Amino acid sequence: MNWKIFLITVTAIIIITVALFAGPRLINPFVMNDTEKEILLSIRLPRVIVSILMGAALGASGAVLQGILRNPLADPYILGISSGASLTAAMGIISGITLFGIVTIPVFAFAGALCTGVFVGAMGWKRGGFWPDRLLLAGVGLGFLFSSILMLIMSISSTEGLRRAMLWIFGDLSLADWSVIPYGSLFIAAGLSISMLRAKSLNALILGDELSHSLGFSPRKERFILFLCVSLMTAASVSLGGMIGFIGLLIPHMARFVTGSDNRILIPVSAIGGGAILCIADLIGKSVLSPTELPAGIITAIIGAPYFLYLLRRKDVLSN
Amino acid sequence: MSSATENTILEFRDVCFSYDNSRVLIDQINLSVSNGEFIGLLGANGSGKSTILKLASGILKQARGIIYLWGKPVHSYRNRDRAKLLSYLPQVLDISIPFTVREVVSMGLYPYDIMPPLSTDEALEMVGLSVKADSVITNLSGGERRRVYIAMTLLQGAGLVLLDEPLANLDIRYQMELLRLLKELRAKRGITTIMALHDINIALQFDRLMVIKEGKIIGTGTSDEIVQQDLLKKAFDIDIEIKREETGGVYIKY
């Protein structure tokens, strides 16, 4: 097992290094002029860090969410958090408000995501605890509502911000800069470390609340804490660079094939894998039609959708 | 503190339970279980057997009365401390995340910081699943999956094991093997078992039976005292004929 984790980590480091130096303009790390140094430090490095943070948050959130909802098809966006974030971010972009300077849109998105998380949590709460099915249905219902309002706003809007809002919704990393990294790291690191510390209780939750109780955990408390972690990580991720589809669904399943389903290994491996895959997706997005950039979210969806269909064909993954 | 004897490990005193003040599911139950007993809870579907086990394990909280576990109210234990004393295997076991058999069984070690008396391999051996240790649980049959959870419950190493219809989905061989295993664990480690069941033939294997109907205990005693025509007619609402042969065999006709 250890050599598999080592191999995954080394592969991720190689991918991240390639993403840093490759792209529309290839940079030789051993011979760099001032312009290339500037590109590397001001554009590429923050963009790669944001990709790692977002991918790690989504990969780990997917693994945790599939566990607390006991549903292998759950992904962080199923809770409607991303739709809430997209709605508030798009409203901010289209209205042109710059209340918090350069971080206005991330702040709007984070606020929208958190409010949605709280609302979904309240809807999923019954008899002193979260009910997985209620959480899931509340998230799906609210997601549809927010998406519809977003479509409505975008269809009646004719401002310049419309294209930017569209790009942001599809996961655009081109606006990544150092300013958003500190707070993004804080929330994602907090959510990730708490999730990893509670990986045993997540394993037990997957067996059902009664067995989890028998094994010495409080399923209601554990589900609540893990839901908070997922909400924080997803909110931070969406606010950093918009919606990146399929990483939350795809990566935990890929990780399970390699390392098994034990969340003590699955959560960190999903985080590493998520970060690396998003770096590749962003590299592809900015390279294939250069100088035009494709949002990374579109690339992950193009890779993720066929995999999703493949999963549907695998009975042992999706059903009993 | 409970006033029961030193040997009493579980005691229900005037316990009542209902969900959201609706229909009363458990109605003023009193029972006491001594260390090393092998007890069967017999009753029809919906009689309250599972609810009694869930109350005993602390999953449900009684509306009235008190439940003592080793002399202390069951809800006064820290979750992890309780898990070292009592393990509970529910009736419905579903899983959709592809854990391996070994991963599930080894979760029985979660309440411990130190190694308990049994290893994962020994627990797998006990239920005859050593060869499937690395198989994915979602690919196993219903009976095999149940044996995986039984191995996990045994690995937990608690002194009191509560099993809710664990024989469902098991073929006759594994039904008999599980009963033999539980009796062996009692003999070797003094483990107490309380099992919900509705098969009268299986009930004959227990030291003591409690018959439950509509949330009340309507009979308690040895299998000879309990497996009686009138009592079982009342418990299951069916015509039943019981004949005891001189050789000790019991003939049951539904």
The helix, strand and coil proportions of chain B, stated in percent and rounded to the nearest 5, come to 35, 30, 35
pLDDT tens digits along A225-261: 998 899 889 888 888 888 888 889 889 988 888 888 9
B90: nearest CB among A211, A215, A318:
A211
- The answer to whether A297 and A244 have CB atoms below 8 angstroms apart is yes
**The predicted structure's pLDDT at residue A51:** 94
Complete domains list, chain A, with CATH: 2-16+43-318 (1.10.3470.10)
pLDDT tens digits along B1-14: 555 567 899 999 99
- Check CB contact of A220 with chain B, cutoff 8 Å: no
**The predicted structure's pLDDT at residue B2:** 53
Complete domains list, chain B, with CATH: 35-58+79-253 (3.40.50.300)
pLDDT tens digits along A139-148: 889 888 988 9
Distance separating alpha carbons of residues B254 and B251, to the nearest angstrom: 10
- The answer to whether B59 and B88 have CB atoms below 8 angstroms apart is yes
Say yes or no for a CB contact (<8 Å) between A261 and B90: no
Distance separating alpha carbons of residues B24 and B19, to the nearest angstrom: 8
**The predicted structure's pLDDT at residue A184:** 86
pLDDT tens digits along A145-198: 988 998 888 888 777 677 777 777 777 787 777 888 888 899 999 999 999 999
DSSP A170: T
| Highest-scoring range by mean pLDDT, A108-117, A128-137, A271-280, B93-102 | A271-280
Enumerate residues 6+ apart whose C-beta is below 8 A from A252: A59, A62, A63, A66, A266, A270
> In whole numbers, what is the pLDDT of chain A averaged over residues?
86
Parallel, antiparallel or unpaired: strands B216-221 and B208-213: antiparallel
Say yes or no for a CB contact (<8 Å) between B103 and A261: yes
* A266-292 average pLDDT score: 90
B94: nearest CB among A67, A262, A320:
A320
For an interface test with A, give the residue of B79, B91, B160 to mutate (most A CBs within 10 A).
Answer: B79
Say yes or no for a CB contact (<8 Å) between A320 and B87: no
Enumerate residues 6+ apart whose C-beta is below 8 A from B97: A66, A67, A70, A72, A206, A256, A261, B138
Query: Which portions of chain B are predicted below pLDDT 70?
Result: 1-5, 21, 115-117
What residues of B are in contact with residue A208 (Cβ under 8 Å)? 90, 92-95
pLDDT tens digits along A90-108: 888 887 777 777 677 778 8
Say yes or no for a CB contact (<8 Å) between A214 and B138: no
* A29-50 average pLDDT score: 88
